Structure 1
Amino acid sequence: MSEPVKRLDIVSPDIIRQLTQAEAKAALSVLKDAAKLEPAVVELLAEDGPLKSFLVSALSLSPYLSETAARSPALLTTAIHEPLEPRLRQIVGRARDCWRPNDGEIPSENEVMTALRVAKRELSFLVALADLARIFTARDTTFWLSALADAATAAAIDHLLLAGHESGKLKLPDTSNPSERSGLIVLGMGKLGGRELNYSSDIDIVVFFDPEAGTLPDPMGGSETYGRMMRRLIRILQERTADGYVFRTDLRLRPDPGSTPLAVSLDAALVYYEARGQNWERAAYIKARPVAGDIAAGKNFMRLLTPFVFRKYLDYAAIADIHSIKRQIHAHKGHGAIAVKGHDVKLGRGGIREIEFFAQTQQLIAGGRMPPIRVRETEAALRALAEAKWISHEIADEMTECYWFLRDIEHRIQMVRDEQSHHLPDTEAELKRIAFMLGFRDTKSFSARLEEVLRTVEKRYSRLFEQEAKLSGTNGNLVFTGQQDDPETLETLSSLGFERPADISRVIRTWHNGRYRATQSVEARERLTELMPALLKAFGESKRADEALLRFDSFLKGLPAGIQLFSLVANNPPLLALIVTIMSSAPRLADIVASKPHVFDGMLDPGLIAELPTREHLSHRLTTFLTGARAYEELLDRLRIFAAEQRFLIGIRLLTATITGEQAARAFTHLADLLIEAALDAVLREIEAGHGRYPGGRVAVMGMGKLGSFELTAGSDVDLILLYDYDGSAAESSGPKPLDAVRYFSRITQRLIAALSAPMAEGVIFEVDLRLRPSGNKGPVATRITSFQKYQHEDAWTWEHMALTRARLICGDESLVAEAKDIICDVLAAADDPDKITRDVAEMRALIEKEKPPRDVWDMKLIRGGLIDIEFIAQYLRLIAPAKGEVVNTYGLSTADALKMLGARFLQQDQLDTCLAALRLYTELSQIIRLCVDGPFDSKDAPAGLVELLCRASDCPDLKTLEGEMKRLSSAVRDTFKAVVRK
């Protein structure tokens, strides 16, 4: 028997109800206006039959249908008298052929646009009425909407191809069938591909082209030619005109949409999917279907993609892949009642997406071995899974029934005003509208049925994987697929602590798109997806989470590979916490990591951070690292790499409180000593290779300032003086290019400065300052030991002797090192005029205070009672000690150790304790600040993580308390300075 003809005039009585008398009156008014033009409507209104009642109710429930009827009264005549399906086939056929020439005239683009919009309006109106009358099921509705989308897209493509041929930009094999053998492939994705469009759906398409199809006069210009064509396609289909629109059109499911043209070549697409295709793309391509353009080429392309979508073996990687998809499309499973009002029937709990995912997940798992389950439609997929005994027939039937019930609701939500919404209304009056459109007598019975369906879906969906909580790792969605933000994901990010969730979502999509080297491999993205809930939770718990994650993004961008890091972090929560600490509290370290990702390599050695950075530890590692470096430039590059890595690792130890600020200062200084020594050795070899040895030549390097007193910070320059001596009877060096003594040792100094501070591919080791040498910048860059001795005994100013109290020989000829040490000790042991020293030190401090006033309390060097005052006290006491009959030797001591030695002789215990306490605090704070930020510390704009570090280091609850403590100590230090350095 043939199926009965589907007509609206056989509608059942009271299939739907009117919402209110006022709206029914307005709907009846529309019908009366239509009757003035349409006799069929006059006949309808003359009788109070089921069809009249139905149309009044339908138009009252849907303002969109009412507006359409008022605008196109003839559609009412069609609906009243004509069989529906033949008419719909005619509409689809007319849309499909609207591109064809008429009497030799090719339709204009505007004519094509008008024809398609008229077809869409007619079909949507008739389908909606048939659906509301229950003459059509949701299956019929999705079929006809999809059929029109296919026809409209294909017609628009044919029109554009023909226009391209007419303009000479394309050469078509057959102008009567423009798409055939054109090599232009248009795939319908998602609901379009599965012929499951909802009532107000947009359409997702991806476009590929074959440069070798012979259609393009210049195959190299294919992306540009077809890209312009696709922009016109979007205009044809979605631009709103007086006739409305056809379909909103989205091309963002193409490979890496942020960096690829609107049309992608086949070769580029295949390379992308093979190397960088993502989990969500595999799921998306289950439904993909050629809908326009070269259908045969499209089918062939789909065959080529089969191994990408359906993997042959069910191995661990594939399971991890499926798990990651589940997490990304996850809507958190709740408990208790499901709120009907405002519920998202697509993405919410128990919604359409969960049913689709339920089917697609199992298709991806088993589809590689079971070709029969590789079907596009959700209902067909459930049925195929049951036939393959992957699920029971009972579950397949249950999920299918739920699916179409939810699709019915979705259609009615959208029929009201032709809006692409999936949310049920949140008011009782509007919820009643949806209930009546579905044939329910009231919202109570509708809500009860919906809750039953949602719970059924949720139950089946949650059982798909037993380890739900472990896989989710979060109390909300984390969806980073496609190009549009998932609203629930933005809510999740906001709840986790991110202030700009849309920006964060965009950044994370960049990771998942594989645009960074670290995330290009499938394995790396799988590990990153598994890590994502924990990663976002950790960053979200830090203050200024957005800034911290953006710094991590910069780090990720420069990382050469990511799988090792992601795997380690996933199994090592402390490492993740450390990364978050760096990104949230130390912008300077984060910038270093971003620009030199290799510095992070040391962190991948889990035992390394536990080792204290002693001189022996650093020396052993440097020797190992330099082994095998032959060329001079290679050795300097390795020194730069080692310097950056070890400074970073020392900083990490400080950041995690593994070492104190004083220990960090000593470690930075040990590192500097070793690097300077290695650079000097390399320079001497180079000089000797070109200029030979200088008879009796000896060289030593002396460190001044913080380098001399073991107080370097992460950002310190180094103050150096190069000392030398030679056989006075020799006129020049012994090499092939001999030099006199001054030029020879000056050349060594210049090469050493360049070795340490010249910019190379790996940056610089240190900035070098030579201004503390005798005669400062006016004198020679290298100083002979005899000149140094004479200058210090006869010509040096008080401030130069103060600087000499922190001098330390770093490296060089042992005999010259010993000689220089003796000179330093002799100079400082000479009983000088203590009154002159006192005046000079007081005047010098006053001059600094006048010319370099402190910015604020955080300018710990320059504030009254700050580091300069403490250093001056120690240096002053060292200079006057001989005059007071005290024999002391502070050579090679830090300021703290020198203070302890001198303070025991010259200071009251409370003065010494005050200076040492202040010095400890300043050292801790300045070491952390110099490690974390470039430039001055601004307490109002400091990273929250840095503030926490400073408070922790000072054992203060907040910055206000810490600033109070600094002011207290600095005031006490200033009192001590005044008491000790009296005029």
Structure 2
Amino acid sequence: MDRLDPHRLDDLQDNPLRPLSRKAAAAVLADLKALAADRPPLARWLAAESAARDAVIAAFTLSPYLADLARTHPDLLLDLIARPLEELLDAACQAARNSWRPAPGEPARADGIVMAALRQAKRQTAFVLALGDLLRLFDARQTTRRLSAFADAAVSATVDHLLLWAHEAGKLRLENPAEPARASGLIVLGMGKHGACELNYSSDIDLVVFYDPETPALAGRPDLAEDLGRLLRRLIRILQERTGDGYVFRTDLRLRPDPGATPLAISVDAAMTYYEGRGQNWERAAFIKARPVAGDLAAGARFLKELTPFVFRKYLDYAAIADIHSIKRQIHDHKGHGAIAVKGHHVKLGRGGIREIEFFAQTQQLIAGGRMPALRARETEAALAALSEAHWIDAQTAQALTEAYWFLRDVEHRIQMVHDEQAHTLPKTEAELKRIALMAGFADTATFAEALTARLKTVERHYGALFERERSLSDGQGNLVFTGQNDDPETLATLSRMGFARPSDICRMIRTWHAGRYAATQSAEARERLTELTPRLLQAFGESRMADEAMMRFDAFLARLPAGIQLFSLMANNQGLLGLLVTIMSAAPRLADIVAARPHVFDGMLDPRQLTELPQREEMARRLDLFLAGARAVEERLDRLRIFAAEQRFLIGVRLLTGVADAQDAAAAFTDLADLSIAAALDVAQDALAETHGRIAGARVAVIGLGKLGSREMTAGSDVDLILLYDHDGELPDSDGPRPLDAPRYFARLAQRLIAALSAPTSEGVLYPVDMRLRPSGNKGPLATRLAAFAKYQREEAWTWEHMALTRARGVAGDAGMLAAAQEAIAAVLDQPRDLVKLHRDIAEMRGMIAREKHPAGIWDVKLIEGGVVDIEFIAQDLMLAAASEERARPAAGASTAEMLQALAPARLGQEATGQLLAALSLHTMIAQVLRLCLDGPFDPKTAPAGLVDRLCRTTAAPDLSVLEAELRERAATVRAIFTGAIGKPVG
């Protein structure tokens, strides 16, 4: 609407405002009269009743901010009475623009002087504009343009000041210090409402700063980026630091490319590379309004011209509508902003609000602006008019949206004028809503609400029609906006409701995804698919306890993922895969760390069969052969083996985590994988050794697995206990290669190569940690032992604990005949009759020594606690070693602990004790499998991921952790009692 714009306050003929109350008006008048005591012009003005006087009094009752300014700076009111408003605004703008200028011959001014001048000018501008706006001497268009012009002057002055200072400090070379910005190569763009000359009354300003390092003023400066960064930090401080004089503008430089990883000022070449390769649709929308506001204006215009193909594409860009709509859908909330309301309504982001009008225009500008330059208007009103003239929308729509836009901007200004706050939400109380209604010129809240609601519904209807073929505006979670660089307060609240304890961190993380900083999110298609998936991701992670930690693990996974389109698409269309990923991140930190470090392990999950079945050993062997086929070099073979083993170990763990496999099935699968991996590593080690040292005639090798590898009871975190046995033809042969070795050194070298192949850390990780301390003579003995020497040592020198280890010995790799011979030698040792008293004493001493040297990390350390896995294993091993003396048939070496107990315990311990041991072993095994799968360290119920606690209870069929702990303690006590009765009290 066009209004008369008089030059003086007293030109006001009618008072458009009603005071908040008569009492408030009387108080304001009293205050003004007190100020007028020593100011005759003000006293005379107050004494003469006029529409202008009554209007100012009413304005001060409605805006505490303006009333405070008049009290603390009465000269503002005196000037307003005496001088034309336009003259005051022009003078303030000019004062701001010249605030940097030193006197002729003087050096650059101090920052403090510039700061004070800018704040004084801003104070005068804010006071005059607010009163002029409230009294309807200016309309919203004029207010926004005046505010934007002042912002241009303030930013330009600050930039000139800093450039002059840098010139005098030798940081750059200005062409003309009297005009610092000209040809400086420093480009300062105003974005958003600043760029469009549509600033709010209490708006912050968004700036993006680029520079051309080839400009003579900047060329040849090795520390240019750092120097400019320091200058821009000063710019922010000069403009936004609050002093006794107030502030100028809150200043935000975070709309630059990838702000979390880039300096405050970016070279034009780097910027163009970013926008051409990684720029997003929301950035395209933002640059519609971009305008050079300070610095080298000519260079700024050239930069924006070069950027035009990024913002406005040559073809009709219908794809942009879905992406811009997804931004709006993130902003929208059917619950929070769903109903058109008045009290508490967000006039910027709410339904039918200012943002919908802006998006309505900007979306269509992006679609067609490439072919129709007339649509490239910065201002919202001009954009709507251009769309109407181009017949993209009808004239009635343009007119209705334009009228609604300025009405809402008018309301927005009044919200901000109350306390000079960057606010957009209408009050929730009737009293405060009345204040806004009166400021807007309405007689009461009902009339105001009716007018506001009509505009909101108009905007909502037109905006909804634009996207009528799109999905509903919200999935119901609430505000979820991650565009731009500022945390949206409503989004933080939504994330908190969803279950996140650190919503700001989650916002920052998701902005990193949008910035394309990760390889997986660099392509526009990947970002769009992840954007669509984000609400579901947040909902899924939010439903898990300790949601923040789970999201952080997902972010680490995303950061290492080489590409994302396939995975994001699969997750979008496969709820099971999404659920599995959430389960891993929320319940299994160890698995999550594996996924984050080596994302390729997740590839196996893309085969749906992997979620429903465990592969048999033969199938796993076939896959391994195929995976290793074609690899010739030693390192390539080993790396492929590590990749395969890591993926399969992960997949077995996932099946255990999801309940597809139980603890025993998982143990068998982990062991089969270890067997196959050790066999393949042995082949590689033998081939590599033969290349250098040849082979020994009749050489035969057997790798014997002990511990959990031997008894087929491995967990996700088990190491491998190995013995390498060999034999050969003749007594002292040498190898036949170019560098021959005698047999002991040859097989010792083979053992070293096998250990390295299994346990050397590489970029693809470690196959298995290797423990060879169970070989004859322990760490002091040779790494490889000839079979005959091994048998002799075991018969004549080995300790009881070494024979205990042999009960679980099993051939896992090597020559079939040699493996059979080794098993025969082991069986002969186990079949020796023993002194049972000494056996029990030795086992009790061994258990006591373990208790002294390895303290359990709490009740959940089921291996080491009294009555834990070690106690059960020692009971089983005691039964195995005593079988010959008790004339009982025993299982073969390498049987599982459960098999040993089932075969031997009933006759010695009775059926009840056997059942108790087996039940305890089953419980301990389930707990150990889950904890070793999910954690690298001890389990602490107070800090454990909630998903892990849930999984532990589900695996053990316990209703909650306290019940499970009680059962664990009871089972452990029973096992310790059986141990003490059968073997004796542990010594120590």
Q: Helix, strand or coil for the counterpart of 1:285?
A: helix
Q: What are the superposed Cα offsets for residues 242-289 of structure 1, whole Å, 9 maximum, x if unpaired?
A: 433322222111112222222211111111111222232122111111
- Specify the alignment match of 1:608 in structure 2: 610
Comparing 330-339 with 869-878, which one deviates more in the overlay?
330-339
Q: How does 1:41-440 map to 2 (within 5 A)?
A: 41-100=42-101, 102-103=103-104, 105=106, 108-109=109-110, 110-314=112-316, 317-332=319-334, 338-440=340-442
Deviation, structure 1 residue 18: 1.6
Q: Is the 8 A contact 2:387 2:393 kept in 1?
A: yes
Check 1:336–1:601 CA distance in 2 against 1; reply closer, same or farther (3 A cut): closer
Aligned mates of 1:660, 1:172 — CA distance in 2: 75
- Specify the alignment match of 1:573 in structure 2: 575
- Specify the alignment match of 2:644 in structure 1: 642
Check 1:918–1:71 CA distance in 2 against 1; reply closer, same or farther (3 A cut): closer
Check 1:388–1:333 CA distance in 2 against 1; reply closer, same or farther (3 A cut): farther
Deviation, structure 1 residue 148: 1.2
Aligned mates of 1:234, 1:614 — CA distance in 2: 65
Comparing 496-505 with 464-473, which one deviates more in the overlay?
464-473
Q: Aligned-residue CA RMSD in angstroms?
A: 2.6
The code of the aligned residue for 2:830 comes to L
- Specify the alignment match of 2:901 in structure 1: 899
Q: Helix, strand or coil for the counterpart of 1:925?
A: helix
Deviation, structure 1 residue 621: 1.7
Deviation, structure 1 residue 982: 7.2
Check 1:300–1:36 CA distance in 2 against 1; reply closer, same or farther (3 A cut): same
Q: Helix, strand or coil for the counterpart of 1:384?
A: helix
Q: Is the 8 A contact 1:117 1:243 kept in 2?
A: yes
Deviation, structure 1 residue 673: 0.9
Q: Is the 8 A contact 1:320 1:526 kept in 2?
A: no
Q: What are the superposed Cα offsets for residues 265-324 of structure 1, whole Å, 9 maximum, x if unpaired?
A: 111111111122223212211111111222222112111112222233346753442333
The code of the aligned residue for 2:781 comes to G
Comparing 924-933 with 791-800, which one deviates more in the overlay?
791-800
Q: Is the 8 A contact 1:30 1:66 kept in 2?
A: no
Aligned mates of 2:91, 2:847 — CA distance in 1: 97
Check 1:316–1:978 CA distance in 2 against 1; reply closer, same or farther (3 A cut): farther
Q: How does 1:919-958 map to 2 (within 5 A)?
A: 919-958=921-960
Deviation, structure 1 residue 899: 2.7
- Specify the alignment match of 1:723 in structure 2: 725
Aligned mates of 1:715, 1:625 — CA distance in 2: 23
- Specify the alignment match of 1:777 in structure 2: 779
Deviation, structure 1 residue 168: 3.7
Check 1:150–1:890 CA distance in 2 against 1; reply closer, same or farther (3 A cut): same
Q: How does 1:674-685 map to 2 (within 5 A)?
A: 674-685=676-687
Aligned mates of 1:907, 1:362 — CA distance in 2: 83
Q: Helix, strand or coil for the counterpart of 1:789?
A: helix
Unaligned 5+ runs, structure 1: none
Deviation, structure 1 residue 907: 5.1
Q: What are the superposed Cα offsets for residues 160-206 of structure 1, whole Å, 9 maximum, x if unpaired?
A: 33343344433233444332222221111111111111111111111
The code of the aligned residue for 1:594 comes to A
- Specify the alignment match of 2:447 in structure 1: 445
Check 1:643–1:37 CA distance in 2 against 1; reply closer, same or farther (3 A cut): same
- Specify the alignment match of 2:910 in structure 1: 908
Count of aligned residue pairs for this structure pair: 983
The code of the aligned residue for 1:918 comes to A
The alignment status of 1:881 with 2:922, answered yes or no, reads no
Q: What are the superposed Cα offsets for residues 312-364 of structure 1, whole Å, 9 maximum, x if unpaired?
A: 33467534423332233334366886443333322233322222222222222
Q: Helix, strand or coil for the counterpart of 1:607?
A: helix
Q: What are the superposed Cα offsets for residues 775-816 of structure 1, whole Å, 9 maximum, x if unpaired?
A: 222322211111122222333333322221211011112221
The alignment status of 1:732 with 2:734, answered yes or no, reads yes
The alignment status of 1:542 with 2:544, answered yes or no, reads yes
Q: What are the superposed Cα offsets for residues 482-539 of structure 1, whole Å, 9 maximum, x if unpaired?
A: 3221000001100111111122212222222222222222222111111100000000
- Specify the alignment match of 2:762 in structure 1: 760
Aligned mates of 2:173, 2:849 — CA distance in 1: 84
Q: Is the 8 A contact 1:184 1:208 kept in 2?
A: yes
Aligned mates of 2:754, 2:26 — CA distance in 1: 95
Q: Helix, strand or coil for the counterpart of 1:211?
A: coil
Comparing 702-711 with 617-626, which one deviates more in the overlay?
617-626
The code of the aligned residue for 2:280 comes to Q
Q: Is the 8 A contact 2:15 2:135 kept in 1?
A: no
Deviation, structure 1 residue 979: 5.1
TM-score of the aligned structures, taking structure 2 as reference length? 0.94
Comparing 481-490 with 275-284, which one deviates more in the overlay?
275-284
Check 1:170–1:751 CA distance in 2 against 1; reply closer, same or farther (3 A cut): closer
Deviation, structure 1 residue 847: 4.8
Deviation, structure 1 residue 72: 4.1
Q: Is the 8 A contact 1:333 1:462 kept in 2?
A: no
- Specify the alignment match of 1:619 in structure 2: 621
Q: What are the superposed Cα offsets for residues 123-156 of structure 1, whole Å, 9 maximum, x if unpaired?
A: 2222222211112111111111111111222232
Comparing 265-274 with 855-864, which one deviates more in the overlay?
855-864
Q: Is the 8 A contact 1:100 1:106 kept in 2?
A: no
Q: Is the 8 A contact 1:11 1:50 kept in 2?
A: yes
The code of the aligned residue for 1:235 comes to R
Comparing 545-554 with 415-424, which one deviates more in the overlay?
415-424
- Specify the alignment match of 1:460 in structure 2: 462
Deviation, structure 1 residue 118: 2.8
Deviation, structure 1 residue 843: 4.6
- Specify the alignment match of 1:28 in structure 2: 29
Deviation, structure 1 residue 559: 1.8
Q: How does 1:780-859 map to 2 (within 5 A)?
A: 780-849=782-851, 852=854, 854-859=856-861
Q: Is the 8 A contact 2:195 2:378 kept in 1?
A: yes
Deviation, structure 1 residue 975: 4.3
Deviation, structure 1 residue 63: 2.5
- Specify the alignment match of 1:8 in structure 2: 9
Q: What are the superposed Cα offsets for residues 454-480 of structure 1, whole Å, 9 maximum, x if unpaired?
A: 333333334432366556334211111
Q: What are the superposed Cα offsets for residues 63-88 of structure 1, whole Å, 9 maximum, x if unpaired?
A: 22223333444443443354433543
Q: Helix, strand or coil for the counterpart of 1:200?
A: coil
Aligned mates of 2:184, 2:689 — CA distance in 1: 70
Q: Helix, strand or coil for the counterpart of 1:883?
A: coil
Check 1:843–1:219 CA distance in 2 against 1; reply closer, same or farther (3 A cut): closer
Deviation, structure 1 residue 745: 1.6
Q: Is the 8 A contact 1:211 1:220 kept in 2?
A: no
Deviation, structure 1 residue 936: 2.1
Comparing 810-819 with 7-16, which one deviates more in the overlay?
7-16
Aligned mates of 1:328, 1:69 — CA distance in 2: 42
The code of the aligned residue for 1:160 comes to L
Q: Is the 8 A contact 1:956 1:962 kept in 2?
A: yes
Check 1:152–1:965 CA distance in 2 against 1; reply closer, same or farther (3 A cut): same
The code of the aligned residue for 1:26 comes to A
Comparing 688-697 with 485-494, which one deviates more in the overlay?
688-697
Comparing 20-29 with 376-385, which one deviates more in the overlay?
20-29
Aligned mates of 1:691, 1:840 — CA distance in 2: 44
The code of the aligned residue for 1:626 comes to L
TM-score of the aligned structures, taking structure 1 as reference length? 0.95
Comparing 573-582 with 101-110, which one deviates more in the overlay?
101-110
- Specify the alignment match of 2:491 in structure 1: 489
Aligned mates of 1:189, 1:305 — CA distance in 2: 14
The code of the aligned residue for 2:898 comes to A
The code of the aligned residue for 1:51 comes to A
Q: Is the 8 A contact 1:120 1:246 kept in 2?
A: yes
Deviation, structure 1 residue 876: 2.4
